[in-house]
Structure 1
């Protein structure tokens, strides 16, 4: 067994405002010492922190590591199993029972057919921004509405309910509310989804949730599936749009290259996904003794997988801390995870980002920050998804 050279005691909770796009310094330091480190969970349980690309990828593909919520050995109390339908925290065969009916509804072809609608929603947001005039908060005016409208339309959430639903999701994914507020937001969301499922069963409409009611899935299972799809369908993409715009504005040479070459858009999206890695860490628990990177991970031990350092691994990506929109190897990133839990909606997210970034840059050629970069409010590391809380931007009124 190899000798360890590094021990990480806790995960960091903040990033430096001077480099908001980089993983926290403590994680980068751990990676510099090697791809795997000893780690102590919040409850005092011994674990492991995996920061290297190859090792993170291998664990994600290894069925000897479990995604089950109730097996997490990270606190000093028993964690209940994931509710029915919330398949991100389940193993086979339960995982496939919930994911399989969804696969055909999020294919590359089906998502591309949505392009025209995404273009219209994006144009509507930009029209409203332009009409109101600068400055604007890009988060509320652009980044959140686009994915929220699209995922709600896909699942059949009535238009008038979207605002309150978005607020509830923000509350329990933003990492900044009290435990009581988090529970209240989660409960309210669950109650709403229960009503929505019942409505779709009684009177199906042209949407994914209505299609799923014509299956053997129970109401409780459909409620859990809906929560996963709705939460993942807008929060991750919303933060990629806002944080990605922030990153581009802070790298003017890359922004200029993207403005000048529309053909660069697809590659730019992949590089921003790699560079920012907004879904930053996940956990897996060993079902048996497993050797990883020369270390034996004992059965029952929970490992933390750091996606953001894996996507900045110099052994996998040349000059990994540089934002390079022409990077040839960005497509190998782990921003959408890997293995059986690879993001179901990744093609939808890609289409939304391609359309939205291109339209934003074309509409506002003089777009820039309205405040100093260090004053941009960042989401805390405790949030499930990293990003910015608000992004004040401005532009010259006359389009050129």
Structure 2
């Protein structure tokens, strides 16, 4: 890869990486939170230390909050805009160096709707919103059921499995690939690209990790060029075909939107399913209750989303001089919002560190964000995860861990890389 890409990494990721490491050694709770992402990483002690520093913490690397009220307020306030590496203010010559190493359209840079503000965000979100209405999502239920049944049938009876690779990742990738018109044989490749690119949501990532992510984005860009050209010749009954036919988006916007929908379409859900399995196995009394009170499954999904959020954090920047929690923030100030911390705020959730599938206000969590950037696919993720979890435990009632689950070495996306289990006997189950 060209040296100019290394320079870009150094400016956007390398310098923050070294600063975070230095501040973590000095005991800064925010630096420790985002900098310790090994496969056995538990972020919650660091989040509670951050909470203990006050509702809005000003550390050497910026502002941060784990407060529910402040997090929700910032997410819903038009005076705060999206923050990402792309809008860090750098001197002109350094900005030119970054532009010289431009990446293809991807989920974490404009024109991806994930990282842009109105009016561009409004236009792009409107272009795909029809595919995620309650009616549209409801029509997918039958396909979700059939995909889940096929995957459960393929799991070995009385055998071992990695529930991430063999099940949790396969349910959402099958659905979102079909929604975007991608052929079945491309699913494994998209999983690999998504796994490589997901660290781009973090900051301070290593050069090798960034290089692998950039390479994945470049390879995916070539695939999308061919796929979009094919849809122009032979459009199908899918989201991307409808966008191509409408002609409202240019090629760069089409590819940014496609890559975002593909990544978001399975990243949150695979983590949600994996986290749900681990929590239910760790709380067998609550799993037993679900077997006798299956009507609690929707609430269980909400509690998993709250208790062990698949998306842990986001960031906002003040678009003007403003106030948050009684603190004056000047234009350009950046606030990191700990969604996972907000979800365990004791002022909002009683006994927040207790996993409780009967929690009445679990659905008030902020895992799917709030305001104009609320996750478009939240209803789809809930449906996929709820059906996948219930079907799994109904089909394999003796399911048990066979080793230590391995966390993904990420900060923003929070889930498991490996989830080894013994499946036990297979039961005939219907949902």
Choose the corresponding residue for 1:10, options 31, 48, 61: 31
Give 3-state SS (helix, strand or coil) of 1:291's partner: strand
Runs of 4+ more than 4 Å apart: 6-9, 15-18, 73-84, 174-177
Match of 1:71 in 2: 87
| Match runs of 1:295-374 below 5 Å | 295-371=327-403
Match of 1:37 in 2: 57
Whole-Å separation in 1 of the counterparts to 2:370 and 2:225: 31
Change (3 A) 1:109 1:314: same
Match of 2:406 in 1: 377
Whole-Å separation in 1 of the counterparts to 2:335 and 2:410: 18
Q: Superposition RMSD on alpha carbons, in Å?
A: 2.4
| Match runs of 1:192-207 below 5 Å | 192-207=223-238
CA shift digits 1:24-75 (9 cap, x unpaired): 322211113322101333xxxxx20011000000001111111154334699
Match of 1:51 in 2: 66
Give 3-state SS (helix, strand or coil) of 1:393's partner: strand
Give 3-state SS (helix, strand or coil) of 1:130's partner: coil
Give 3-state SS (helix, strand or coil) of 2:165's partner: helix
TM-score, length-scaled by structure 1 = 0.90
Give 3-state SS (helix, strand or coil) of 1:349's partner: helix
Whole-Å separation in 2 of the counterparts to 1:156 and 1:146: 16
Count of matched residue positions in the alignment of Structure 1 and Structure 2: 383
1:128 to partner: Cα distance: 0.5
| Match runs of 1:1-400 below 5 Å | 8=29, 10-12=31-33, 13-14=35-36, 23-41=43-61, 47-69=62-84, 70-72=86-88, 78=95, 83=109, 85-130=111-156, 133-174=158-199, 178-215=209-246, 216-371=248-403, 375-382=404-411, 384-397=412-425, 399=427
Q: Which runs of 5+ in 2 are unaligned?
A: 1-26, 103-107, 200-204
Change (3 A) 1:27 1:57: same
Q: Which runs of 5+ in 1 are unaligned?
A: 1-5, 42-46
1:23 to partner: Cα distance: 3.4
1:190 to partner: Cα distance: 1.8
Could you tell which deviates more after superposition, 79-88 or 208-217? 79-88
Change (3 A) 1:160 1:398: closer
Whole-Å separation in 1 of the counterparts to 2:48 and 2:82: 25
Change (3 A) 1:265 1:74: farther
Whole-Å separation in 1 of the counterparts to 2:354 and 2:110: 42
Give 3-state SS (helix, strand or coil) of 1:102's partner: helix
Could you tell which deviates more after superposition, 56-65 or 288-297? 288-297
Whole-Å separation in 2 of the counterparts to 1:91 and 1:380: 29
1:311 to partner: Cα distance: 0.3
1:120 to partner: Cα distance: 0.6
- Whether the 8 Å contact between 2:38 and 2:407 is mirrored in structure 1 is no
